[in-house]
Amino acid sequence: MSGKVITVTSGKGGVGKTTVTANIATALAMMGKKVVAIDADIGLRNLDVVMGLENRIVYDLVDVIEGRCRLRQAMIKDKRQPDLYLIPAAQTRDKMAVSPSDMILVCDELRQEMDYIIVDSPAGIERGFRNAVAPADHVLIVTNPEVSAVRDADRIIGLLEAEEKGPGRLIINRLKPDMVARGDMLSIDDVLDILAVELIGVIPEDESILVSSNRGTPVAMSGSNGSSASQAFRNVAQRIEGQTVPFVDLTPKTGLLSRLNNWFSKS
């Protein structure tokens, strides 16, 4: 068995890499896959908090690399999903504690027994980013529908192409359909127009994400009666598995009058 390494990155900070990592790992685990999430943000770890596993940390990624524990000992088993694990980042060290070849070694070992290894990249384009991308088979680029996030995503795609990691696939996070409809936010088409890469998910802005992150319960876990964001994350997981899932229509429901208006302004 040889698992796939998927790195989640963005360039810009605060666009939702960690949230996306936690939810996609969770959603894949709910589909019966064996999944491990790795927090590569050494020194600024978050993924353990979002997954609600902070209080179970004994060993971390740097302990594994520096030989203080076996890989298995650093893998924290999730509270709810039997086949979901987390390898947390060290809190006290910095990015230089890990090298790209260390990451490749760790991931190659994990490939033996896991279906998916999801790596949460730190923001930026320096050592931490290179560490996270080095072992990747696939890259997911997270961006928000705003100009600065798209600019950074574009830079990241350029760097990935230069490293021959492929163009990556895009997740547009925190989309507000009503703002797009008013013309106050970049639309999906605007973003794709610049980045010109394959879209694998659109996550609508959803208050339940903040609530669930604070609680340490990824929103993807909230089952079929969950929020729209919950459904969107599960759709991404299915697309990663190779299934064809239609994109949820996020255009706000409009009355006859405004539809007529739209129709006239288009022509």
Q: Could you tell me which residues come within 8 angstroms of residue 166 by beta carbon, excluding any fewer than 6 positions away?
A: 138, 139, 160
Cα–Cα distances (Å) from 94 to 17, 121, 127, in that order, read 19, 14, 10
3-state DSSP assignment of residue 219: helix
Nearer to another protein, 14 or 158 (CB): 158
Q: Supply the minimum distance, in Å, between the C-beta of residue 159 and another protein.
A: 8
Please give the distance of CA 11 from its chain centroid, rounded to a whole number.
13
The CA-based angle 240-118-34, given to 5 degrees, is: 75
Q: Supply the minimum distance, in Å, between the C-beta of residue 36 and another protein.
A: 31
Nearer to another protein, 22 or 123 (CB): 123
Q: Supply the minimum distance, in Å, between the C-beta of residue 78 and another protein.
A: 37
Nearer to another protein, 181 or 194 (CB): 194
Q: Supply the minimum distance, in Å, between the C-beta of residue 157 and another protein.
A: 6
DSSP state of 41: -
- Asked if residues 194 and 170 have their Cβ atoms less than 8 Å apart, the reply is no
- Asked if residues 62 and 84 have their Cβ atoms less than 8 Å apart, the reply is no
Q: Supply the minimum distance, in Å, between the C-beta of residue 65 and another protein.
A: 30
Q: Supply the minimum distance, in Å, between the C-beta of residue 196 and another protein.
A: 7
Rg, Å, the chain Cα set: 19
What is the residue type of 177? P
What residues does 203 pair with on adjacent strands? Answer: 173
- Could you list the residues that contact another protein (CB under 8 A)? 147, 151-152, 154-155, 157-159, 161, 194, 196
Joined together, the tokens standing for residue 139 give: 């890259």
Nearer to another protein, 103 or 157 (CB): 157
Nearer to another protein, 35 or 186 (CB): 186
Nearer to another protein, 128 or 204 (CB): 128
